[in-house]
């Protein structure tokens, strides 16, 4: 069983296939964290020796010995103002002015299956899943905190969240409500987080955990381009293949906050949850607040082991059920081909050209609605532009489907323009502060999705759109983030709830639409990768990775994303050259190699391609269809060259290890004839592998004298050598299979 309680030692131990997580009810009833790491059955209380630490106060009942303080004890859920000066998980103020909480165990239960979180996305349970509930209480305020743990034995995952209940007699204001607290008692650790900006998202940075507080956070109402909520604590000697790593991933898409503190005793505490900077929530007596769920995984197999665990778990338990069971269509998006300048005939011509290349889905992007000729107007007026599409969407969709293509549509439901019929009719539906000129992004405001009437209007609008037209794909965009956090539907004491209610409203709207239209493929987008997180995956099985489609930039963006998120969730497109964002020129073949990391498509005008380029696109699409099952279901490896070469390389390996695809791109020209040398990973050392095909792009083609077969051991340990590849951003793909 994945959870056991030892009444003698008062320990609760959660076990998965290769890890153990242990806590203990302390001498005064506090829930103490003892251990999280490789599988073990011991009681780890011996790690915490009694000691008197100056200026770490003692509970009244233990004042005589002075060897026990909440300031030095590891805790499962820390609270402020009761003797622990480190990071707190819970902060509130009651109407009577009481703050802080002395949380002590009241009860616990162990049950089969996985708890549910109504109104919030969370991981689905499975046959080997167990739930632990531990309720803590504070006698002075009546506050209770129910800690929920989901244990996935086979997958090596633990999920955590908290329910805070006001059991007192007066209202209270929550100011902080974290989902988890994790204390690690000893050792040096490093923090791996993923920073960035619009068009350069999720860049990995690995820094030592300092004798200070380090915070990864977003105050934008979105998980953001700037700081992704996924973080890793890893040992300093951890590499891709070996070393201790702890991954923490909130299933949450709004403002977030993960802080890490190394204390005076050398212990490390990580607290993760909703961003507290602009958050408050009023709890009346008897009411409960539910925090989002956070995924927790330990790996002793380095960063690759941790990444692959997250990839499998997100595919199996977080993404909408069945989302990755079917092939993804190859699509062409109209944006970079036409921007706002199009009509029925030009889009039909684009569709015909795309069909001739082998594309399966034509997506009409921004500009199809209202009087939308630029990004300054009409957002929210979700009816076809009568000048561009005089017959509406219906005739255009009919003509495109007659070509044998499916039809997709870009929408931005969460936003509205001030110059729109929607804003003129309902100015109070926008998030704006009374008496203050609103901030605008892309000349648009944000709808107050915390209001039920706003959500109902959006649901009815897009329900009608999808019911009336055979649309198989929706690209759901959001091109600004939250700033003017004021809702005209909330009283003054609840204005701090606006951002949180916005996300709850968005989840509710998406749940209704995805349930009503299960066969529509919804792709998420937020100005590119501004909301690429686990909270979106239950609704958007693929997310636009970045507005930057330059392949060299995308190498870094997609590599950073892969540390936590499965490549199949990344929407990756081949775009025109020179690139519209960076101005960089690159070979068409290299653009295809990079885009084949995830859900594959195009962002260009086929009419602008030469005949040779059109033939290359046809080959790319044929090759992608052959590789799609491997890219969707295979294990992903980040490869590092053994020499100091400007080389990016990655590998997909099928679950049965019988097939592998190696991809590589040179991002600079090495000075001299240095061969490309890589050790492959994930193969069966006893198997015999045969090269099925090799394609090289952007460099002179030359014969390569390879053996007829390699053993898996040879490719793993001896490696593979390719001849030098001169040129600008050359690339290669090699597909290997075992003998039948």
> 258 lies in a domain?
yes
DSSP assignments along 516-578, one per residue:
H-TTSEEEE-BTTBTT-STTTTTT-SEEE--S---HHHHHHHHHHHHTTS-GGGEEEEEE-SS
Among 268, 298, 318, which residue terminates a domain?
318
Which CATH number do you get for residue 674? 2.60.40.1180
Task: Give the DSSP letter of residue 285.
Answer: T
Among 280, 302, 318, which residue terminates a domain?
318
Alpha-carbon separation of residue 516 from 393, 565, 616 (angstroms): 21, 26, 39
Mean pLDDT of the chain: 96
Please say if the pLDDT value at position 259 is more than 70: yes
Helix, strand or coil, per DSSP, at residue 710: strand
> 608 lies in a domain?
no
> 102 lies in a domain?
yes
pLDDT band (50, 70, 90) for residue 126: confident
Contact by Cβ (8 Å): 156, 139? no
Report the number of distinct structural domains present in the chain: 2
Q: How many Å apart are CA 292 and CA 252, to the nearest integer?
A: 6
What pLDDT shows up at residue 281?
98
DSSP assignments along 53-96, one per residue:
-TT----GGGTTT----TTTS-BSS-BSSSS--S--SEEEEETT
> 557 lies in a domain?
no
> 438 lies in a domain?
no
Catalytic machinery residues: 533, 613
Count Cβ atoms within 10 A of the Cβ of residue 3 and give its class: 0-12 exposed, 13-18 middle, 19 or more buried. Answer: buried
Alpha-carbon separation of residue 606 from 341, 579, 623 (angstroms): 16, 15, 18
Alpha-carbon separation of residue 392 from 99, 341, 345, 369, 382 (angstroms): 59, 16, 13, 9, 11
Please say if the pLDDT value at position 610 is more than 90: yes
What pLDDT shows up at residue 644?
76
Q: What is the pLDDT of residues 194-225, one digit of tens each?
A: 999 999 999 999 999 999 999 999 999 999 99
Q: Average of pLDDT values for 412-436? A: 97
Percent of the chain exceeding pLDDT 70 equals 99
pLDDT band (50, 70, 90) for residue 671: low
Q: How many Å apart are CA 312 and CA 310, to the nearest integer?
A: 6
Token digits of residue 142? 């009546």
pLDDT band (50, 70, 90) for residue 725: confident
Which CATH number do you get for residue 284? 2.70.98.60
> 190 lies in a domain?
yes
Token digits of residue 723? 């001849």
Q: Name the residue with higher pLDDT: 645 or 114.
A: 114
Q: Average of pLDDT values for 531-559? A: 98
> 616 lies in a domain?
no
Q: Which residue has the tokens 């890893």?
A: 234
Alpha-carbon separation of residue 72 from 48, 52, 102, 189, 258 (angstroms): 9, 9, 15, 18, 21
Q: What is the pLDDT of residues 364-378, one digit of tens each?
A: 999 999 999 999 999
| Tally of CB atoms within 10 A around 113 | 12
pLDDT band (50, 70, 90) for residue 347: very high
Please say if the pLDDT value at position 688 is more than 90: yes
What size, in residues, is the chain? Answer: 740
> 120 lies in a domain?
yes
Please say if the pLDDT value at position 740 is more than 80: no
Token digits of residue 696? 């090289």
| Tally of CB atoms within 10 A around 237 | 11
Residues 6+ apart with CB under 8 A from 288: 163, 164, 165, 166
What pLDDT shows up at residue 650?
98
Alpha-carbon separation of residue 366 from 337, 409, 479 (angstroms): 12, 8, 12
Please say if the pLDDT value at position 702 is more than 70: no
pTM: 0.97
What pLDDT shows up at residue 669?
79
Helix, strand or coil, per DSSP, at residue 489: coil
Among 318, 342, 365, which residue terminates a domain?
318
Least confident of 146-150, 282-286, 726-730: 726-730
- Spell out the long-range contacts of 5-10 with Cβ–Cβ below 8 A and sequence spacing 24 or more: 5/108, 5/110, 6/43, 9/43, 9/45
Cα 616 to chain centroid, rounded:
33
Range of the domain at 696: 637-738
CA dihedral angle for residue 356, residue 359, residue 362, residue 365, rounded to 10 degrees = -110
Percent of the chain exceeding pLDDT 90 equals 93
Please say if the pLDDT value at position 509 is more than 80: yes
């Amino acid at each position: 069983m994945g959870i056991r309680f030892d009444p003698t030692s008062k320990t609760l131990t959660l076990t998965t296939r290769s890890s153990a997580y242990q806590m203990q009810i302390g001498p005064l009833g506090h829930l103490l964290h003892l251990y999280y790491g490789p599988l073990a059955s011991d009681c780890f209380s011996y790690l915490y020796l009694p000691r008197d630490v100056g200026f770490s106060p003692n509970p009244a009942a233990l004042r005589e010995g002075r060897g026990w303080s909440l300031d030095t004890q590891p805790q499962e859920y820390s609270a402020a103002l009761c003797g622990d000066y480190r990071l707190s998980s819970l902060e509130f103020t009651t109407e009577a002015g009481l703050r802080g909480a002395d949380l002590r165990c009241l009860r616990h239960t162990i049950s089969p299956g996985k708890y549910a979180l109504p109104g919030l996305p969370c991981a689905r349970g499975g046959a080997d899943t167990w739930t632990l509930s531990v309720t803590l209480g504070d006698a002075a305020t009546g506050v209770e905190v129910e800690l929920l743990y989901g244990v996935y034995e086979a997958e090596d995952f633990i999920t955590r969240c908290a329910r805070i209940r006001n059991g007192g007699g007066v209202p209270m204001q929550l100011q902080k409500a974290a989902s988890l607290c994790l204390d690690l008692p000893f050792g040096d650790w490093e923090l791996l987080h993923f920073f960035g900006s619009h068009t350069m998202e999720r860049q990995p940075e690995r820094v030592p955990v300092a004798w200070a507080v380090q915070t990864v956070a977003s105050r934008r109402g979105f998980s953001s381009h700037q700081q992704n909520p996924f973080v890793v604590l890893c040992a300093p000697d951890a590499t891709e293949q070996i070393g201790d790593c702890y991954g923490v991933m909130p299933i949450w898409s709004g403002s977030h906050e993960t802080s890490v503190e190394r204390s005076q005793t050398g212990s490390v505490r990580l607290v993760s949850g909703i961003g507290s900077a602009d958050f408050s929530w009023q709890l009346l007596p008897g009411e409960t607040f539910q925090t989002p769920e956070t995924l927790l995984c330990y790996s002793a197999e380095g960063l690759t082991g941790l990444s692959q665990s997250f990839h499998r778990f997100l595919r199996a338990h977080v993404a909408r059920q069945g989302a990755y069971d079917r092939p993804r269509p190859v699509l062409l998006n109209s944006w970079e081909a036409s921007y706002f300048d199009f009509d029925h005939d030009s889009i039909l011509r684009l569709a015909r050209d795309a069909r001739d290349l082998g594309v399966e889905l034509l997506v009409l992007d921004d500009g199809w609605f209202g009087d939308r000729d630029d990004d300054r107007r009409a957002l929210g007026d979700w009816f076809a532009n009568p000048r561009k599409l005089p017959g509406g969407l219906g005739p255009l969709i009919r003509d495109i489907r007659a070509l044998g293509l499916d039809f997709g549509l870009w929408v931005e439901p969460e936003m509205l323009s001030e110059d729109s019929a929607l804003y003129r009719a309902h100015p109070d539906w926008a998030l704006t502060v009374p008496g203050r000129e609103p901030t605008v992004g892309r000349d648009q405001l944000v709808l107050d999705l915390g209001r039920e009437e706003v959500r109902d209007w959006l649901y009815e609008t897009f329900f009608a759109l999808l019911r009336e037209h055979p649309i198989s794909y929706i690209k759901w965009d959001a091109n600004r983030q939250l700033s003017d956090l004021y809702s005209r539907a909330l009283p003054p004491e609840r204005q701090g709830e606006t951002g949180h209610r916005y996300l709850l409203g968005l989840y509710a709207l998406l749940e209704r639409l995805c349930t009503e239209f299960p066969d529509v493929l919804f792709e998420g987008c937020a100005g590119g990768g501004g909301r690429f997180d686990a909270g979106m995956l239950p609704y958007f099985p693929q997310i636009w990775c970045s507005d930057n489609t330059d392949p060299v930039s995308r190498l870094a963006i997609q590599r950073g994303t892969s540390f936590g998120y499965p490549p199949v969730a990344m929407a990756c497109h081949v775009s025109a050259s020179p690139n519209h964002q960076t101005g960089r020129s690159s070979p068409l073949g290299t653009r295809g190699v990079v885009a084949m990391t995830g859900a594959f498509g195009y962002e260009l005008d086929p009419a602008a391609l030469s005949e040779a380029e059109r033939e290359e696109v046809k080959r790319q699409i044929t090759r992608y269809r052959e590789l799609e099952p491997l890219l969707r279901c295979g294990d992903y490896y980040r490869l590092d060259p053994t020499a100091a070469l400007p080389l990016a390389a990655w590998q997909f390996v099928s679950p049965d290890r019988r097939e592998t695809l190696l991809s590589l791109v040179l991002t600079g020209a090495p000075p001299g004839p240095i061969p490309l040398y890589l050790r492959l990973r994930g193969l069966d050392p006893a198997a015999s592998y045969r090269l099925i095909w090799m394609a090289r792009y952007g460099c002179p083609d030359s014969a390569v004298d390879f053996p007829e077969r390699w053993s898996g051991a040879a490719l793993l340990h001896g490696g593979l050598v390719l001849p030098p590849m001169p040129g600008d951003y050359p690339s290669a793909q090699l597909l290997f299979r075992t003998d039948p």
